[in-house]
Structure 1
Amino acid sequence: MITLALAPLRRRPAAFAGLAVALFLAIATLTMFGLLFAAGLTAGEEDRRAVAGPGPMVIAGAFGEIAVLVAFFVVVNALGFALRQQHRELALLRTVAATPRQTRRLVRGQVVATTLLATAPGWVAGAAAARRFLGELQRRGMAASGLRVPDTLLPMVIALAAALAVGLAATAVAARRISRIAPAAALAASATEHARTGAPRLLAGVVALAGGGLLLRLAATRPAAEADKAGQAALLGSLVLLVAVALLGPLAARLLAAAAGTPVRLLAPRAGWLADANLCGYARRLSSAVVPVALLVGLSGTMSIMTSTAGNAPGMTASGVTSATDVWLRQSELALLVCFASVSTVNTLVAVTAGRRREFALLRLVGATSSQLLRVLTVEAVLTTVVGVLLGATVAGAASAAFSTAVTGSAVPTVPLAACGWIVAGAAALTIPVILVTGARTVRGPAAERVGGDGD
């Protein structure tokens, strides 16, 4: 079983590269904030009294809460695609007498192996980042000069245990469907997409939507003196709403794609018609592509708008030192969240586009040229970007409105148009080239051979 589990990793390492990167970032992030928390915990009484503001423990807790949740969100997303890319192989194993239990053990073995490969680099990167971050805090007077990152393995062990727990839990959910259905049905399902979203997923999406709404209500009702707590609640609420978008994505994506597809059909009658039909007909695939774009836009937009709103609110620009350090902390958090969201976006778009190899081969066999397919992909990439930006902007608007209500008393936040424009441009610059480059590579090669199998 171990040999069988490791075979896909050796044969197709690119299929697990996204998962490995996501796990590396998650372990490194948890290690970094764990070591910072340990540094504050082991500090002497003099070191704690030397700093008037929040120490490393408070910063690590508040700063790391959202970062760790986003990191594991990216891990779950990457894991789903790593398993989806070998759906056909797992279905074939079922047809040659592999039991559901053996299939689940096989998938668990792959996840454990990938996690262990990413562990050592994640520990090293996390420890180095903790020392660098602590040095920056000391330079800005937010940590005592004598404070040091302790030599302890506990945060690293916790990081590994958390990554394994999240990976195995996500694996249990992802492998449940293929391991429980009949072998012939599993093989047929690997080449098709279900039109309906299951009731458990819909229920989970509604619960996440309600939870996000409650968090935003909590943020909106905080007093102005507790702007930091309002910001954390709003940012956490935006993340929960993005989870709801991921769960309810096929429904929302189909509606938005249909609305955006109408003008595209008029502007590009041939490529636009086929692109719109592809996106509306494969709503689950479209949802998978737009969710990371929405994550990138939603989190970045929320952070940027909240920072601008806080900076312009009455009484929020008291001291120059506090303002500068607060802005630096928010910018650091934004940079980390953008890093996670960008990794998720690239991983997902590459996996989604590369997974359409057989579809492109069939279109080439019925007369479509490579240039025609790339034109269709260009239109699809633009539509995917538009849908993702709309979903992310909706979440960012709701979260920033709740924060603005708390700190200014008005639900209309201060929107930095230039920063938001750069966020949208960055999402487009990340999404469209990734889809086109992956698509150009995918349509190459003999079409007849591509139809018969998944290829490399």
Structure 2
Amino acid sequence: MASIALGQMRRRPAAFAGTAVALFLAVATMTLFGLLFATDVTTPEAVRKEAAGPGLMVIAGAFGEIAVLIAFFVVVNALGFALRQQHRELALLRTIAATPRQTRRLVRGQVVATTLLAAIPGWVIGALAARGLLDELQRRGMAAPDAPVPVVPLPMLIALAAALAVGLAAAAVAARRISRIALADALTASSTEHGRTGAPRLLAGIGALAGGGLLLNLAATRPAEQLDKAGQAALLGSLVLLVAVALTGPLAARLLVAALGAPVRALAPGAGWLADANLRGYARRLSSAVVPVALLVGLSGTMTIMTSTAGHAAGGTASSVTSDTDVWLRQAELVLLTCFAAVSTVNTLIAVTADRRREFALLRLLGATRPQLLRMLTAEAVLTAAVGVLLGAAVAVAASAAFSSAATGSAVPHVPVADCGWIVAGAVALTVPCILATGLRAVRGPAADLVGGSRD
């Protein structure tokens, strides 16, 4: 099984490269904040008192709890898609007498190998980032000037163990369906996509939606002197709502495409019709592409609107939410979260589009030209971006409204239109070029050869 697992990883480098990047980010993030936590623990009390502000432990906790959750969200999304790309190969193994236990063992082996490959660079970058962030905090007087980053292996080992645990859990969920279906159904299942969202997944999505609502209610009911806690609850609530979007993604994406597809079909009757049919017919594939776009827009929009609302509520007076130090911390957190979401978006879109080489080849054999395929992809890219932006914007509006209720007593937040416009433009600029650039590469080569078997 080990040789088969490594062989499949070599055959699908794009899919596992995305998973490796996601795991690298998770390990690096946990190493970064773990080392900051260790710095605070190993610094003498007398030295810690020299620093102003909340302290390294509080900063590491405030940054880390959201950043680590987002990193794991990215890992689960990337890994789930990588395993779905192997659906046919895993089905073939089932038809030649591979047992469900052997199939799951193969998937676990791939996860372990990918995590170990990502661990060392993750540790290195995490340690360098910890040193850089500590230097910046010391320069701003928020950390003791003589506090060094300790050379201890425990944060790195915890980061590796946590990444492995999340990866194996995600692999178990993703491999469950293909390892449990009957042998006679394995190949048929590998070539089609079920149109319905399963009841357990839908129930989990409803549960996540309810949990996000409870967190937003908690944020909205915080008193004015606890705006920092309201902000953390609102940001965590937005992440839980994005988990609900991921779980109910196929259903939500299909409904939005049905609503948005009509104008696209009217503007481009041929390519628009085909793009609309593709997106609605392959809702799970669409959901894989939409979720990272929604993550990017939802988190960035929430942070941007919350910061603007806090500043507007303070009216220019220095407070715990508008001081220069706190603004810098919020901006740093926004940059970090945006980087995670952008990496997830690029990884997923490239992998989703590259996996369609055989589909494009079949269309070419049926008479479609490369320009026609690119027009279809353009329409799909526009629809994908629009669905992702709408879902992310809905999450950002709900979270920032809850925070605004705590900050101003009104559910109407202060929206920086220009900044939000840049967020939308950035999401579109990532989505459309990624899909088109990967599509250009995917339509190259003889169509007959691609249909015949090669998908690399």
Give the shorter-chain TM-score range: over 0.9
| Residue 388 (structure 2) pairs with residue 384 (structure 1) | no
CA contact (8 A) 2:228 2:321 kept: no
Q: Which residue of 1 aligns with 2:207?
A: 207
CA contact (8 A) 2:50 2:144 kept: yes
Q: Which residue of 2 aligns with 1:275?
A: 275
CA contact (8 A) 1:377 1:435 kept: yes
Q: Which residue of 1 aligns with 2:85?
A: 85
Give the fraction of aligned pairs with identical amino acids, expressed as a percent. Answer: 80
Instruction: Work out the CA distance in 2 between the residues paired with 1:190 and 1:160.
Output: 32
Closer/same/farther in 2, CA of residues 147 and 296 from structure 1, 3 Å limit: same
| Residue 448 (structure 2) pairs with residue 455 (structure 1) | no
| Residue 55 (structure 2) pairs with residue 55 (structure 1) | yes
Instruction: Work out the CA distance in 2 between the residues paired with 1:280 and 1:392.
Output: 19
| Residue 305 (structure 2) pairs with residue 326 (structure 1) | no
Q: Deviations over 1:364-412 (max 9, x none)?
A: 1111111101000001100110111000000000000000000111111
Q: Deviations over 1:270-290 (max 9, x none)?
A: 111111111122222211111
Structure 1: tracts of 5 or more residues without a match = none
The letter of the residue matching 1:155 is P
Q: Which residue of 2 aligns with 1:260?
A: 260
CA contact (8 A) 2:355 2:455 kept: no
Instruction: Work out the CA distance in 2 between the residues paired with 1:68 and 1:117.
Output: 19
CA contact (8 A) 2:314 2:322 kept: no
The letter of the residue matching 2:152 is T
Instruction: Work out the CA distance in 1 between the residues paired with 2:383 and 2:316.
Output: 39
CA contact (8 A) 2:224 2:406 kept: yes
CA contact (8 A) 1:314 1:408 kept: no
Give the 5 Å matches for 1:211-360.
211-314=211-314, 317-318=317-318, 323-360=323-360
Q: Deviations over 1:400-455 (max 9, x none)?
A: 00000001111111101111000000001000000001111111112122223252
Q: Deviations over 1:245-291 (max 9, x none)?
A: 01111111111111111111111111111111111222222111111
Cα-Cα RMSD: 1.4
| Residue 408 (structure 2) pairs with residue 442 (structure 1) | no
The letter of the residue matching 1:409 is G
CA contact (8 A) 2:321 2:327 kept: no
Instruction: Work out the CA distance in 2 between the residues paired with 1:413 and 1:321.
Output: 15
Instruction: Work out the CA distance in 2 between the residues paired with 1:408 and 1:450.
Output: 59
Instruction: Work out the CA distance in 1 between the residues paired with 2:317 and 2:218.
Output: 24
Deviates more, 1:141-150 or 1:47-56: 47-56
Task: Report the secondary structure of 2:51's partner residue.
Answer: coil
Instruction: Work out the CA distance in 1 between the residues paired with 2:415 and 2:92.
Output: 52
Instruction: Work out the CA distance in 1 between the residues paired with 2:41 and 2:316.
Output: 30
Structure 2: tracts of 5 or more residues without a match = none
Task: Report the secondary structure of 1:190's partner residue.
Answer: helix
Instruction: Work out the CA distance in 2 between the residues paired with 1:350 and 1:296.
Output: 16
Instruction: Work out the CA distance in 2 between the residues paired with 1:244 and 1:422.
Output: 25
CA contact (8 A) 2:75 2:167 kept: yes
Q: Deviations over 1:339-370 (max 9, x none)?
A: 11111111111121122222211111111111
Q: Which residue of 1 aligns with 2:8?
A: 8
Deviates more, 1:238-247 or 1:255-264: 255-264
- Tell me by how many angstroms 1:52 deviates: 3.5
Task: Report the secondary structure of 2:323's partner residue.
Answer: helix
CA contact (8 A) 2:26 2:68 kept: yes
Instruction: Work out the CA distance in 2 between the residues paired with 1:184 and 1:440.
Output: 37
Instruction: Work out the CA distance in 2 between the residues paired with 1:274 and 1:8.
Output: 31
CA contact (8 A) 1:310 1:316 kept: no
- Tell me by how many angstroms 1:321 deviates: 11
Give the 5 Å matches for 1:159-238.
159-238=159-238
The letter of the residue matching 1:351 is A
Aligned pair count?
456
Task: Report the secondary structure of 1:60's partner residue.
Answer: helix
Instruction: Work out the CA distance in 1 between the residues paired with 2:146 and 2:169.
Output: 41
Instruction: Work out the CA distance in 2 between the residues paired with 1:432 and 1:12.
Output: 23
Q: Which residue of 1 aligns with 2:44?
A: 44
Give the 5 Å matches for 1:404-423.
404-423=404-423
Closer/same/farther in 2, CA of residues 321 and 307 from structure 1, 3 Å limit: closer
Give the 5 Å matches for 1:422-437.
422-437=422-437
Instruction: Work out the CA distance in 2 between the residues paired with 1:15 and 1:272.
Output: 28
Closer/same/farther in 2, CA of residues 321 and 16 from structure 1, 3 Å limit: closer
Deviates more, 1:188-197 or 1:63-72: 188-197
Instruction: Work out the CA distance in 2 between the residues paired with 1:243 and 1:165.
Output: 18
CA contact (8 A) 2:275 2:379 kept: yes
CA contact (8 A) 1:85 1:351 kept: no
TM-score by length of 2: 0.98
Q: Which residue of 2 aligns with 1:97?
A: 97
Instruction: Work out the CA distance in 2 between the residues paired with 1:320 and 1:231.
Output: 12
